[in-house]
Structure 1
Amino acid sequence: MGSGKRFGVLNCAEDSDYVKKKYGGYFGVFVGMLAEEGEDWRVFRVAFDEFPDENEIGNYDGFVITGSCNDAHGNEPWIRRLLTLLAKLDSMKIKVLGICFGHQILGRAVGGKTGRAKSGWDIGLRTIQLSSSTSSLFNSLQIPNMLSVVEVHQDEVWELPSTAEVLAWSNKTGIEMFRYGDHIMGIQGHPEYTNDILLHLIDRLLLNNKITESYAQELKNGVNGRDEPPNREAWKKLCTGFLKGRL
């Protein structure tokens, strides 16, 4: 018997042809990591103004917010509408998991501040340190207190309100993870990414003159010859544990 649970992916990115062809878009990437038998998963392309019906959001057990090329501190109409939706989900205590841009927009939604990372781009594999309280929180999942994760971001959460808890940090980013109550959690890195998605994004950033050719080659050298990013199963347990109330 399936759980019958219902989840929505708020897709804030424009799917590249590569990701659409190989994974069915970023929706397919997240479903591949998080979905379990019997669940109903839907995608809403919020960056294209496709939002869930306000009268139906109470029928969902949780939502996942994806990464994006847009700035979480921006004020495009769809971002303003997303902030309104997040305020509604917060008031209803519906689970929301934010990844990268999703992490940043959640930080903004709960009263924090976001902006350009003071240390510049962070791209590649990075080790994050979980707080002692986080280790206790995820104790039942047997999650290690240090985790590796793929990072691709030039923005970050600068600060959070006192009502939010920082769960993890790294030597590059002060707020790698946070939670707000029991229903909101943000992760700056990309636990859903594979090596090939990372290599594809490096090529896209280079093509769009976001990074230099020498930096792109340095990043590729760090990825090539490496197995898939470590700790993928730990991240899967952590994300599904939060989203599905198993903590």
Structure 2
Amino acid sequence: MAKILIVKTGGTFAEYAASHGDFENWTATGMGLAPDQWECVNVQAGRTLPAPNGYAGAVITGSHDMVTDRLDWMRDTEAWIRRAVEAGLPMLGICFGHQILATALGGESGFHPNGLEMGVVDIAVTEAGREDVLLGPLAPSFKGNMAHSQTVLRLPENATLLATGSHEPHQSYRVGKHVWGVQFHPEFNADVIRLYRRDQRDKAIAEGRNPEALRIEAADTPKSATLLKRFAAYCLTR
């Protein structure tokens, strides 16, 4: 059976990853995959991505890097994304992955004009999203975990908007039949959000800002987490 490829574009804080696993582990666990059903390529570390044919699907992870950094590995990943789309590979981009997918396919990503969004937010499924194989079961609305300062500013021309929110207008989109981007983190749980909340509080203190102004809710979001298993099922049974 063909495996699902996890394209690692970054990782969480090293100390936390050492005891709790990293983005690729959380994603594979969320998809319900056995160890022999997935493999990971760390493109941030300079690893070369394999040819997209031969895989059942691919997930592009989040990252602490910014799409606007335009590093060499990002350009190489964008070129691979375009080849993967041409090859018909199902793909799911999460947060940074959502943004680099959009950039690779003709959209635009950059800093959100209204700044950081973090914690649990309400996400609304669009009319088109209600018919989507991944987003449809989440309709009409669901809660998702967020941790981002960049966003998809402009969707690719042929993208379909699937979900939106009060802060983030492009919570999810689909390009073609089975290339999805989600700005929210279906692989995050409450503990992960608490970790990022602590990081933001530390940064606020270091910058002389009031950390109490950071009202960041942390909670599990089990409804949004189901999206990962649906993506895996779609890839492995189509």
Q: TM-score, length-normalised on structure 1?
A: 0.85
Contact (CA 8 Å) 1:141, 1:237: kept in 2 or not?
A: no
Show the counterpart of 2:182. Answer: 187
Q: 1:136 to 1:53 in 2, by over 3 A?
A: closer
Distance in 2 between the 1:124 and 1:242 partners?
Answer: 28
Report Cα offsets for 1:36-62 as digits up to 9, x if no partner: 3585211111111112233xx311111
Do structure 1's residue 174 and structure 2's residue 169 form an aligned pair?
A: yes
1:4-153 to 2 correspondence within 5 Å?
4-37=1-34, 40-54=37-51, 57-138=52-133, 142-153=137-148
Show the counterpart of 1:203. Answer: 198
Farther-moved stretch of structure 1 (10-19 vs 27-36): 10-19
Q: Which has the higher contact order (CA 8 A, sep 6+)?
A: 2
Contact (CA 8 Å) 2:106, 2:157: kept in 1 or not?
A: no
Contact (CA 8 Å) 1:202, 1:216: kept in 2 or not?
A: no
Report Cα offsets for 1:171-221 as digits up to 9, x if no partner: 1111110000013100000011011111112223344559855257532xx
Distance in 2 between the 1:115 and 1:154 partners?
Answer: 9
Distance in 2 between the 1:238 and 1:14 partners?
Answer: 24
Contact (CA 8 Å) 1:5, 1:38: kept in 2 or not?
A: no
Do structure 1's residue 240 and structure 2's residue 219 form an aligned pair?
A: no
Q: 1:156 to 1:59 in 2, by over 3 A?
A: same
Percentage identity across paired residues of the two chains: 21
Structure 2: runs of 5+ lacking an equivalent: none
Contact (CA 8 Å) 2:62, 2:97: kept in 1 or not?
A: yes
The count of residues paired between Structure 1 and Structure 2 equals: 236
Q: 1:68 to 1:146 in 2, by over 3 A?
A: same
Q: 1:177 to 1:120 in 2, by over 3 A?
A: same
Opposite residue 144 of structure 2, the aligned amino acid is V
Structure 1: runs of 5+ lacking an equivalent: none
Distance in 2 between the 1:87 and 1:233 partners?
Answer: 27
Report Cα offsets for 1:1-38 as digits up to 9, x if no partner: xxx23111111113423442333221110111013358
Please state how far the C-alpha of 1:93 moved relative to its aligned partner.
1.2
Please state how far the C-alpha of 1:151 moved relative to its aligned partner.
0.5
Distance in 1 between the 2:134 and 2:186 partners?
Answer: 19
